[in-house]
Structure 1
Amino acid sequence: MAAPPPREPGPSEGTIGRFLSPSKVPGRIGNLLYLAALANIAAAIVRPWRNRMPEVATYLPGAVEGYVVAFAILSGLFLLLVARAVKRGKARGWWAAIILLSLLLVFDVAEGELPRRPIATTLTVLALALLLVFRRQFAAASDPTTRWRALWVFLGLLVSSLLAGAAFVRVESRHLFEVRNLGWTDALIAAATGMLGQDLNDLAVTPTPRLQVISNVLIVLGLVTVLVPVWLFLRSPRQVGTIDADDDRRMRLLLAAHPDSLGYFNTRQDKDFVCSESGKSGIGYRVVSGVILASGDPLGDPEAWPGAIAAFLELADSHGWTPGVLGCSELGGTIWVRETGFQALEIGDEAIVDSTEFSLDGREMRNVRQMVNRIRRQGYETEMLRVRDTPVEWRAKALADASAWRVGGTERGFSMATSRVFDAERDPDAIVIVATREGIVEGMLQFAPWGHDGMSLDLMRRNPAADPGINELLIVDALSKAPGLGVRRVSLNFAMFRSTFERGEKLGAGPILKAWRRLLQVGNRWFQLESLYRFNAKFRPVWYPRFVIYPRAVDIVRVGLAAGRAEAFIVFPRLTLPFRGGR
């Protein structure tokens, strides 16, 4: 008998140690930067720098007072933004902090006397010294999707702010430079100096309160023009459309050799992919708020999973990201914990039904049977086939219907959705079932392929005006017709906190479990946690636990929030900007 191939090596102890026992230096220096930033802002506001740098002022325009005050405030605001990148160990944040702190010290030294801002200056010197001493702690690479968009946003805001500011200045041109109709060139120059902190009343023949208002507006425009691009430059990336053809091909080859119920969902367009050194395994992921989040188990041979985990953690370490895994199986969780020492928490169960054993007979299926029979009598029929066999007109109509029937404006899905509808080019082996009445489609399900004999629920949509029970009809008929397509294993969905809902209502449940169940029931109003569990339970599935993996107990909140955002359960308001750049 041939010897089994050697197991791929997992992550090194050094890499694991940086997640389990991370250095506290970047975080503490980042906190110090917050204090230095606030101190500099307070010093500029409480005692404006109008009497500073008498020698330097002779070489600068007469508006130097406004420039210096604006610089003090802007530097403090920049430091507030830079501090977050410094806390994450970003090299880009380190350089930005060094430049800002150095410029602040230059202004202090240029006074020619002892610093007049002892607290702010002390914090500035201390932060600068610590950054230089601990330079090697700040080696994390920049997030890959933020550079160019920040540049384009800056250019767009600069042009629009200058034009808007010049228009404001021209409105009051009769008070400026003794010119009744100020030209656009002079107006643009005045707007630019105003955005840098110049008080327009200093240039006016007749100072007015309205000019003071315009000066304030220009300062706000200047702050927005600079701060928004800096925020985009330093923030965590929002990945869009990262899967390329080579990654997609590699994932499909791995899935063909080692199918997994959630594996196919890694082909989502908004994920990225990292392979083990041998190429026998890989992990699909997305970066959300500084968390590199994997979904499900690694793809490929389980013997090669440690190699994929090593590549995943090396990528996380190089960028200063916190690693997390959402929805891995018990086998996957065991390997993750064994190889890394990370923590595992059960968060729910996947419902899987054997279609060859499914039946509506028996008392336990009475409610489902009655609902399905009732809706059949109302004229509903179903048809089930693979996407590659669907007529072209079906696909166009299904895409339009799925979009129209979607509740809310946010497309949910990360670990159990492809976000593709009837895509014959990318998902030819996917299976769809539609419910019609009098020839009109009223509901549909789409199942992603799971090897040669399985399918996983991907999409569930229905006409809001359709009769109750249409989803039950679709599930029942999908299970009944699945064997005809060679499908035995059917994964219905992932029910979060299923065990809590099930055990919390039983006799003898403790007060903590009951309180946790009541809290989840409150969340059910928005996230349909209990509703999804009870819907899946109707079909008597076998429940398979799924887990979330995270490095330390303190990371569970951050990983959980990232998972909530990835699945679109947590949606923050987004600032929509008209200026978009490439990667």
Structure 2
Amino acid sequence: MSSTTKQPPTGAPATAGAGFLARLRPRAAAGTVWYLRLIALLNLVAVLLTPLRNTVRHHSEGEYFTPYLMTTGLATAVLSLFLAVAMRRRKRAAWIFNLGLGGVTFLLYVLALGWPGENHYNQHGFNYFSTVLTGLFMLCLVVSRKEFTSKGDRSNPKMAVATFFGGLVVGGTIGAVLVGFYNTLSGASLGDRFRYAIFRMITIDPSDKVLDVINVPSWLNAFINAMGAVLLLLVIYVAFRSPRGKELLNPEDEERLRELLEKQGERDSLGYFALRRDKAVIFSPTGKAAVTYRVVGGVSLASGDPIGDPEAWPGAIERWLAEAREHAWAPAVMGASEEAGVIYARHGLDALELGDEAIVELDEFSLDGRAMRVVRQAYNRVKRAGYTVRIRRHGEIPEAEMADLLSKADRWRDGQTERGFSMALGRLGDPADGRCVMLECHDAQGELRALLSFVPWGPKGLSLDLMRRDRETENGLMEFMVIELLEKGAAEVDLERVSLNFAMFRSVFERGSRLGAGPVLRLWRAVLGFFSRWWQIESLYRANAKYRPIWEPRYLLFEKSSEIPRIGLASARAEGFITAPSLPALFRRRHPRPTAPVAATAGLPTAERGGKG
């Protein structure tokens, strides 16, 4: 009998080794993050506790080494914390920084321990501990190299250098002026005062050359030191910030999105808002689905459901998430439906219920019945006052009339800030939006008093976009216009359903007022009721509930719970609740001319438009 000996496949050990290394990389990357967090904590504790601070300083200045970045300084604590955050986001720039600085530190430690001749460094076991700990950190960096793939902005190094030197000039000038006011000694020139401030910002201790001519109060020294700490924070932020999104919706992308909406637009009432021109878009490999988003403060903020065929949604979502991870953006979705939330969850995102969207089916709406008595009375009161409503598509409005509508819409807006992102189109009167529907309300004298604008939701649906009215008009005017649309929309614009406002935390108000509600729910309702004094959370829910709508839940989707504050801030910026004033914004037209492409956000303050957007 002949026998054959089976040989292991060529490359099997290498494959096993590669698999082990692949499993080890994430743990090594996590090890670098936890090391930096621990060092940041120890530095902070050393700043607060004098015995530990003195011990570490004795080690650093004497015959001992301290592990990488352990210096007992507040600046080093801040630096370690920023590096830990950047490393957790897998930023390659942070990896390179740590490799360079840590590598030099480790090399110096090894040379000091092995340097021939008389020295005391190799006589202390703590130095070996510090060297080994620093070496383990470097080993983790090398092993986890492929984990750090997030790209930074190419302009970051130049901006960091410019920020550093520019901050020194500004801080040194401010410090020199203050030193000139509060210096109790004479003989200090402007150069001496400037040099004193610069050294205070960089090293905390000033140069010995100026101590004989400068003596200032302790609070001024602390102020200059604080300027140095702020400068350090700015430089670190600029050096490791994520790149900003620059690719916005171009005409070709917009045309492709309109084709997808033509086929699948009835799936999501927020679908048409994907056409905002301050968003970017990523299509699935097949081109049958897309995710639209905007990058705000390092957050890739998508809104609503993906556009197009649900079977192609995973492809678009995967591409969007891959781009976010490539640039260290935190992925988040505002206002996703339950159907989209389930698919996003399969890709690693978690969900938090934001509230509910109010949807009214025209064939089920009626003003009859006791439950509608208050609404019916308000409607009849406004109608008896002689108000009338005209309903027509934007494409049916002549250009001169549209210009007049835009002018009055700007005049009636509350405040300078345009609000809206996830549930606002961001433009009014654009020729490309001819299928949008305008409601114009005139008083008994024929004067225009209010406007409502709706975007298409499939072939027979509308979604509220913009709401404006003259502040001197009758109470209940908006309810009158909405009911006119619900009563006459089927005949006027072939309408079957309308998406009205968004009620944030609706379920809390509804369940919290019921008999038997638990103490936690009641407390949560009380907290929201308190904040409703400023943000009208509860009043929006009650304003929606009067139409007896169908409530559709909407969700916030996120990857990590720790990113929720950052996402909340980015959402507030995108929606226009947090803005940075600038001269161009003060002189910009509130609504662009209909013939020009627009990229400015638009919408309404929550108090005016019912909170949708």
Smaller-chain TM-score range? 0.7 to 0.9
1:308 aligns with 2:308: no
Q: Which residue of 2 aligns with 1:139?
A: 149
Deviations 1:67-89 (A, max 9, x none): x9999664443222221111222
Q: Secondary structure at the match of 2:216?
A: helix
Q: Secondary structure at the match of 1:382?
A: strand
The answer to whether the 8 A contact 1:145-1:239 is kept is no
Aligned partner letter, 1:128: M
What is the 5 A alignment of 1:102-117? 102=103, 113-114=120-121
Q: Which moved more, 1:276-285 or 1:316-325?
A: 316-325
Q: Which residue of 2 aligns with 1:34?
A: 37
Percent sequence identity over aligned pairs: 37
Deviation at 1:149, TM superposition (A): 6.1
Aligned equivalent of 2:358, options 347, 351, 355: 351
1:492 aligns with 2:493: no
Aligned partner letter, 1:453: K
Q: Which residue of 2 aligns with 1:477?
A: 484
Deviation at 1:548, TM superposition (A): 4.2
1:96 aligns with 2:102: no
1:378 aligns with 2:388: no
1:467 aligns with 2:474: yes
Deviations 1:173-224 (A, max 9, x none): 9979x6x755x6x776665455432755611373442287766555444443
Aligned equivalent of 1:433, options 439, 458, 469: 439
1:276 aligns with 2:284: yes
Q: Which residue of 2 aligns with 1:59?
A: none
Deviation at 1:279, TM superposition (A): 1.2
Q: Distance in 2 between matches of 1:255 and 1:76?
A: 51
**Size of the alignment, in residue pairs?**
536
Alpha-carbon distance change, 166 to 568 in structure 1, aligned in 2, over 3 angstroms: closer
Q: Secondary structure at the match of 1:258?
A: helix
Q: Which residue of 2 aligns with 1:566?
A: 571
Deviation at 1:299, TM superposition (A): 0.5
Q: Distance in 1 between matches of 2:406 and 2:133?
A: 58
Alpha-carbon distance change, 440 to 80 in structure 1, aligned in 2, over 3 angstroms: farther
Ranked by relative contact order (alpha carbons within 8 Å, sequence separation 6 or more), the top structure is 1
Q: Distance in 1 between matches of 2:170 and 2:446?
A: 53
Alpha-carbon distance change, 526 to 387 in structure 1, aligned in 2, over 3 angstroms: same
1:365 aligns with 2:372: yes
Q: Which moved more, 1:538-547 or 1:267-276?
A: 538-547
Deviation at 1:572, TM superposition (A): 9.3
Aligned partner letter, 1:280: K
Aligned partner letter, 2:146: R
1:231 aligns with 2:237: yes
Alpha-carbon distance change, 213 to 309 in structure 1, aligned in 2, over 3 angstroms: closer
Q: Distance in 1 between matches of 2:374 and 2:148?
A: 61
What is the 5 A alignment of 1:126-165? 126-142=136-152, 153-154=163-164, 156-165=166-175
The answer to whether the 8 A contact 1:36-1:124 is kept is no
Deviation at 1:247, TM superposition (A): 3.0
Consecutive unaligned residues in structure 1, runs of 5 or more: 1-21, 55-67, 579-583
Deviation at 1:398, TM superposition (A): 5.1
Q: TM-score, normalised by structure 1?
A: 0.75
Q: Secondary structure at the match of 1:327?
A: strand
Q: Which residue of 1 aligns with 2:461?
A: 454
The answer to whether the 8 A contact 1:413-1:568 is kept is no
The answer to whether the 8 A contact 1:70-1:196 is kept is no
Q: Which residue of 2 aligns with 1:84?
A: 85
Consecutive unaligned residues in structure 2, runs of 5 or more: 1-24, 63-68, 113-118, 584-613
Alpha-carbon distance change, 518 to 27 in structure 1, aligned in 2, over 3 angstroms: farther
Alpha-carbon distance change, 361 to 69 in structure 1, aligned in 2, over 3 angstroms: closer
Q: Which residue of 1 aligns with 2:540?
A: 532
Q: Secondary structure at the match of 1:203?
A: helix
Aligned partner letter, 1:131: L
Q: TM-score, normalised by structure 2?
A: 0.71
Q: Secondary structure at the match of 1:210?
A: coil
Q: Distance in 1 between matches of 2:556 and 2:539?
A: 21
